[in-house]
Amino acid sequence: MAQPAEKHHTDSRLESLNEALSSGGFLQIRRMLNGLPPADAAHLIESTPHTLRGILWQLVDIENEGDILQHLNDEVQAQFLRQMDAEEVATITEGLEADDIADILQQLPDRVIREVLDSMDHQDRVRIEHVLSYDEDTAGGLMNTDTITVRPNITLDVALRYLRRHESLPEMTDSLLVVNRNDQFIGLLSLRKMLVSDPSVTVREIMDTEVEPIQATKSAREVASLFERFDWVSAPVVDENHYLLGRITIDDVVDVIREESDHSLMSMAGLDEDEDTFASVLSTAPRRAIWLGINLLTAFVASGVINLFEGTIEKVVALAVLMPIVASMGGVAGTQTLTVVIRGMALGHISRNNSRWLINREMLVGAINGLIWALIVAGAATLWFEDPLIGAIIAAAMVINLITAALAGAILPLIMKSLNIDPALAGGVVLTTVTDVVGFMSFLGLATYFYA
């Protein structure tokens, strides 16, 4: 393992990269790229604008390509894979772990996957087909097949001698998997326990049978939650008949946790968590355009509401000046509630049983903060336009909108979830439509009533 390098080194690395590129010092770049730990090289490639990535990739030695490729994000993987034929893909992925190969293959069209598999040796093919048969976002898609299994009736001494016959043990091996003669999982034997136990006891006597193995069809999110709660380093994966299929290791779970957390952040802005920071204009623009288009539709709805009160605005222009305040405060309050609920749902804290309490709490908070800021806005508006009526109206509208915002922010994600729509993705647009419409409607509606 090479020396770990700091994140802030990326900066100086990128700088020397830029210099080398502009002075044509390809030899220097090649040496640097191939000398870095694969994760660092991948990080450097991801941090490079897409136009230069092709050049960097050309400079990676073929024996490092697989290791670096597995650390790249899906989009960049796809970019490089597009230029390879099946044979090349099979060559460079040789020696990677089954789940990493499966991840890479999933970027390819089905026809090419078939070709790559066909050009692998039989054992590898079977191993990878196994992982590929499960969805990427399930335990089966996350698992490796590099398990070390033992029988329960042997002594530790025999088990230890069996281990010594290996060249090396797979990364992150913290326990041996105990199986019966049908290859069904029956328990875990941790290395830590092996090392402190009397060599003459049998595996059966000290194995841990309380650990429930993970079903291959379990979602990646649930797998991550189990690892987090039980502080596992690795865990066995079985099929519905308890046959041992493989094991999941914490490094892959960490990636799931990272992606899951990024998902909420990115979705709330209508973005994908796989979004490549340095993608091209042509691939970025259309993705963003769709979200803007949806927002445009909802903005027109809000405009339609304002249009209903054209006559009133014509008489009292101050309404046009003040109306964005009501809408904006509702938007912010609603987004706060929405974010809390979406995070709570991601952590598994929110269920049918406590959501009513949460909705009530949010509405009460909305009412209190609505009242506080309504008083201040009322004062400011009254002074500004020398009109206490407009102060009273904006105050009332603000309280109405902040309570509505809290209600919508809490209920929308729950409704979306029950409809199987991603709450983080759709919540934001729908919410601001609600707060805009209610904000304009209550403010201009009250004004029309009192000024007409």
Nearer of residues 31 and 166 to its own copies, judged by Cβ: 166
Nearer of residues 120 and 203 to its own copies, judged by Cβ: 203
Nearer of residues 84 and 367 to its own copies, judged by Cβ: 367
How many other C-beta atoms lie within 10 A of the C-beta of residue 311? 10
DSSP, collapsed to helix, strand or coil, labels residue 1 as: coil
CB of 329 to its own copies, least distance (A): 6
- The DSSP annotation for 25-66 comes to -HHHHHHHHHHS-HHHHHHHHHTS-HHHHHHHHHHS-HHHHH
Give the closest residue to 414 by CA, choosing from 428, 433, 427, 402: 427
CB of 229 to its own copies, least distance (A): 4
Query: Contact at 8 Å (CB) between 3 and 36?
Result: no
The token duo for 350 is: 């929110």
* Longest distance between any two alpha carbons in the chain, whole Å: 95
Nearer of residues 379 and 388 to its own copies, judged by Cβ: 379
How many other C-beta atoms lie within 10 A of the C-beta of residue 33? 21
Give the closest residue to 385 by CA, choosing from 334, 447, 437: 447
CB of 25 to its own copies, least distance (A): 16
CB of 6 to its own copies, least distance (A): 6
Nearer of residues 48 and 442 to its own copies, judged by Cβ: 48
Nearer of residues 11 and 85 to its own copies, judged by Cβ: 11
The token duo for 186 is: 């029956």
Nearer of residues 122 and 164 to its own copies, judged by Cβ: 164
How many other C-beta atoms lie within 10 A of the C-beta of residue 299? 14
Show the CA angle centred on residue 437, arms to residues 434 and 357, nearest 5°. Answer: 35
| Helices (H), ranges, 167-270 | 191-196, 203-206, 220-230, 250-268
DSSP, collapsed to helix, strand or coil, labels residue 403 as: helix
CB of 202 to its own copies, least distance (A): 17
CB of 186 to its own copies, least distance (A): 15
Helices and strands, number each (H, E), in the chain: 22, 6
**16/13 Cα distance (integer angstroms):** 5
**123/133 Cα distance (integer angstroms):** 16
CB of 63 to its own copies, least distance (A): 19
CB of 429 to its own copies, least distance (A): 9
Nearer of residues 153 and 280 to its own copies, judged by Cβ: 280
CB of 157 to its own copies, least distance (A): 12
How many other C-beta atoms lie within 10 A of the C-beta of residue 242? 15
Nearer of residues 203 and 302 to its own copies, judged by Cβ: 302
Nearer of residues 112 and 233 to its own copies, judged by Cβ: 233
Can you name the residues that pair with 219 across neighbouring β-strands? Answer: 138
How many other C-beta atoms lie within 10 A of the C-beta of residue 325? 18
CB of 253 to its own copies, least distance (A): 8
CB of 303 to its own copies, least distance (A): 5
CB-based contacts of 332, cutoff 8 Å, min separation 6: none
Nearer of residues 318 and 421 to its own copies, judged by Cβ: 318
CB of 99 to its own copies, least distance (A): 13
- The DSSP annotation for 53-108 comes to HHHHHHHS-HHHHHHHHTTS-HHHHHHHHTT--HHHHHHHHTTS-HHHHHHHHTTS
Nearer of residues 145 and 312 to its own copies, judged by Cβ: 312
How many other C-beta atoms lie within 10 A of the C-beta of residue 156? 21
